[in-house]
Structure 1
């Protein structure tokens, strides 16, 4: 049974957030609601500092919750159905993962749809990755993202491989959407069980992002991509999510290409339950696991200790 704080958070997701997300069509209003939800529910860690930095063509933010050591740099790509998401709503999560991994954590403020459709966000991620790779002070690089940000992170990974850029030491994605063709069975089978995301809302975000582009291209649907030679990947997902098959089948795809992939699943938690870090034991445990995973592939002599 889940903890009381998690059960309350799941009820809020199902009966407040899910109906709002399904009903509101305006990206501008969705962004305001996202910020309001962050103000109400997202606990800012004690001692958190945020420092604006310029990486490539994008404004980014260095999030530091007091990690004592520098074991490298994490680039975090946020979710929000490609149309919303900001530092105010993500700084607690980004800082928590960075602290758990003992790394500098960089939040990417990428251009969002519908104002900037595909592949703008992916191009921003690539430019930022190149800038980090060129900085000798960054140390080992890692990559993470959630939901739509998980899509962008995995699409970026295949670009990195194809273009021969500096590989991340490890990649972690949470509840990723990996197939923008939107035809996986869980989109229908889990439409009632998913506590947060409705298929209708997800489809609107995908349509805004693609803006008529073909979803059957690897930059849009990384499940169709080539990941031969990729570093270890950790995927978190919940079996009740409408996007569960996106995670499950992505893990199968990576495994078939020889990638060291770990799929860890939960049951009955909301999409990207990690956002509750600092408020629910479930989120705290999952964030700690991600941090351990990333650290295990960047600290000398520890690469094979993660299980």
Structure 2
């Protein structure tokens, strides 16, 4: 059983859990180094989600999914589409549903043979059809690149390694038309963890590694613990519990396909990796540890830590920090993917 595992912090869903037992009216102090827009957005998110906390924690899984989609994701996706215009199409790959995002003016010439795979967040329970859009739209626009967002299988309906298998299915399909070095993979929260798990899965199943990966709002394995648990608790953004994630029922952190960052040999197989985290994110320690372990294994790793921001803060895509992060992502994949 996977106790204290990965409260897999996907998208905004678990960001709301810290409201339980806390005053809905009190806000943590703003960081003097965060933008005024970011601080305002964090406080607005608290006010927006506060009326729905009980249902998010105790409701039926389908009701919780619908609530998050309606209240949180839908308005932010609309804003992202306005700020970062893209063309969107559906592309089923075998049994896996994917959505494809391309800049409205077309993919840049230099990126004609490149493609990114997005693995959405959502605690391995939420975010299908919505968080993938919110993560993919700005990256496709800013990078001038095609992004394929994967609607992988999640819990409680499915169990590990269903998501890893679905990622591998999409990856194999893209390898028919792309060299591995032309493919990048990125994800936030659960999607960041799944990105690391996918690298381990490719290694175990004799698939070539992609050209570069991005692990955002996450680490290469379990996210619970470390100094960030204490820091996030002080700011009211610690939403950890001992609950098991249904998707990981019956697995172990000793499994390199679950927590690759516990296995140096697996970490040594990683392609160049971009790690993005923030100081009030419960997953910050896991992200920092992942970056350090990659460096120890000689893997090129780049780390960006944003001050005073919570988990998956760039869901508000118009923030100055969000725009900066999208540019960082675009530049990283431009430097490391083959043309």
TM-score bin (small chain)? 0.7 to 0.9
Deviations 1:223-249 (A, max 9, x none): 223122422101000122111111011
Question: 1:273 deviation in Å?
Answer: 1.6
Q: How does 1:176-195 map to 2 (within 5 A)?
A: 176-180=218-222, 182-193=224-235, 195=237
Structure with bigger RCO (C-alpha 8 Å, 6+ apart): 2
Corresponding residue number in structure 1 for 2:332: 293
Cα distance in 2 for residues equivalent to 1:14 and 1:192? 16
CA distances 1:20-58 after superposition (whole Å, capped 9, x unpaired):
568513432321122111223331424432111122430
The 3 A distance-change label for structure 1 pair 12 and 177 is farther
Output one character per residue of 1:72-118: Cα deviation in whole Å (capped at 9) or x when no partner: 00000000111100233332430221222222100100111111121
Matches of residues 165-184 of structure 1 in structure 2 within 5 Å?
Answer: 165-180=207-222, 182-184=224-226
Instruction: Point out where structure 2 has 5 or more consecutive residues left out of the alignment.
Output: 1-32
Query: What residue number does 2:6 align with?
Result: none
Structure 1 residue aligned with 2:43: 11
Q: Supply the distance in 2 between the matched residues of 1:20 and 1:6 (Cα, whole angstroms).
A: 22
The answer to whether 1:198 aligns with 2:223 is: no
C-alpha distance 214-229 of structure 1, shift in aligned 2 (>3 A):
closer
Deviation for aligned residue 1:275: 1.5
2:65 to 31, 45, 49: 31
* Structure 1 counterpart SS, 2:234: coil
Whether the aligned pair in 2 keeps the contact of 1:133 and 1:166 (CA below 8 Å) is no
Structure 1: give runs of 5+ residues left out of the alignment. Answer: 301-307
Secondary structure at 1:191 match in 2: helix
Identify the range of structure 1 (20-29 vs 99-108) with the bigger mean alpha-carbon deviation.
20-29
Contact 1:194 1:241 in 2 (8 A): no
1:40 aligns with 2:75: yes
Q: 1:224 aligns with which of 245, 250, 262?
A: 262
Alpha-carbon deviations, 1:148-204, whole Å to 9, x = none? 110100110122233332321111121114333834343344223254x5113xx54
* TM score, norm. by length of structure 2: 0.79
Measured after TM superposition, the shift of residue 138 of structure 1 is 9.2
Q: Provide the TM-score with structure 1 as the length reference.
A: 0.87
- Give the drift of 1:10: 1.0
Map of 1:1-307 to 2, 5 A cutoff? 1-17=33-49, 20=52, 24-25=57-58, 26-36=60-70, 37-42=72-77, 43-46=79-82, 47-66=85-104, 67-69=106-108, 71=111, 72-136=114-178, 140-180=182-222, 182-193=224-235, 195=237, 198-200=239-241, 204=243, 206-225=244-263, 226-277=266-317, 279-298=318-337
> Is the 8 Å Cα contact of residues 103 and 144 (structure 2) preserved in structure 1?
no
Distance in 1 (alpha carbons) for counterparts of 2:46 and 2:261: 28
The separation in 2 between residues aligned to 1:159 and 1:179, in whole angstroms, is: 13
Secondary structure at the counterpart of residue 107 of structure 1:
strand
Report the number of matched residues.
295
Asked if 2 retains the 8 angstrom alpha-carbon contact of 1:77 and 1:153, the reply is yes
Supply the distance in 1 between the matched residues of 2:180 and 2:67 (Cα, whole angstroms): 34
Task: Pick which of 68-77 and 3-12 moved more.
Answer: 3-12
